Amino acid sequence: DVKVTQSSRYLVKRTGEKVFLECVQDMDHENMFWYRQDPGLGLRLIYFSYDVKMKEKGDIPEGYSVSREKKERFSLILESASTNQTSMYLCASSEEYQPQHFGDGTRLSIL
Amino acid sequence: EDKVVQSPLSLVVHEGDTVTLNCSYEVTNFRSLLWYKQEKKAPTFLFMLTSSGIEKKSGRLSSILDKKELSSILNITATQTGDSAIYLCAVAPSGTYKYIFGTGTRLKVLA
């Protein structure tokens, strides 16, 4: 069974801090994704990666960056956290054109 | 611009009722449509529909893809309180690993 693990379930940070969200998958999937989920807006794609060191912008990349140094790990970085980045962050992985498998999410609050 | 619209936004029913959730889409070169169920944590995969597989069924849940109408429905018969969740629809254009998500339908089933 595919397991996607996000490092924290809840996280509280301060405005201006650099924030790292980590995601690890155990199924050797090529593709990994970062979304944020907000009420009334659904899931919006921030970045995705289709291979190690490869990345592509999603719909809302501003204020975020990503890193994929190893196939199993995909990190989301908030360069300078702001209050409008308070949200639920979901990581997912998939094999080629197959359905995505999601982690449990990180609820991030920026104060 | 590609988009996915789900309706209704929310729904309250009683146990034993049958519900129909709707998903309509406008995407360039449709590849597949997915349904997910999200309770408190990670969205879990329900069905994947493609041009070669337009109807899926699992227990009390079933889904149909209408490529002419650019839409899909998710039916749940004999609803139970455990069906209470957000139901997400996602559509993939061909030539990309990305999925475009709708805002979801929040279903609440009362005992």
CA distance A53 to A74: 10
CA angle B80, B56, A89 (to 5 degrees): 70
How far is the alpha carbon of A60 from chain B, nearest alpha carbon, in Å?
13
How far is the alpha carbon of B8 from chain A, nearest alpha carbon, in Å?
12
- CB-nearest to A43 from B44, B45, B88 is B88
How far is the alpha carbon of A7 from chain B, nearest alpha carbon, in Å?
14
Per-domain residue ranges for chain B? 3-106
Tally of CB atoms within 10 A around B19? 18
pLDDT tens readout for residues A61-99: 999 999 999 999 999 999 999 999 999 999 999 998 899
Flag if B97 and A104 touch (Cβ within 8 Å): no
Flag if B97 and A42 touch (Cβ within 8 Å): no
Flag if B43 and A90 touch (Cβ within 8 Å): yes
Write down the pLDDT at residue A108: 98
Q: Does A62 touch chain B (CB under 8 A)?
A: no
Write down the pLDDT at residue B53: 78
Chain A contact set for B48 (CB, 8 A)? 99
Q: Is the model's pLDDT at A1 over the cut of 80?
A: no
CA distance A103 to A91: 6
Nearest CA in chain B to A51: B97
The encoded tokens of residue B36 equal 């997910």
Sign of torsion over alpha carbons B62, A43, A57, B100: positive
pLDDT tens readout for residues B35-79: 999 998 899 999 999 988 789 999 999 999 998 889 999 999 999
Q: Does A61 touch chain B (CB under 8 A)?
A: no
Question: Side chain identity at A43, as an amino acid letter?
Answer: L
Domain B3-106 fold is Immunoglobulin-like (2.60.40)
CATH number at residue A11: 2.60.40.10
**Domain count within chain A:** 1
Q: Which domain holds residue A62?
A: 4-110
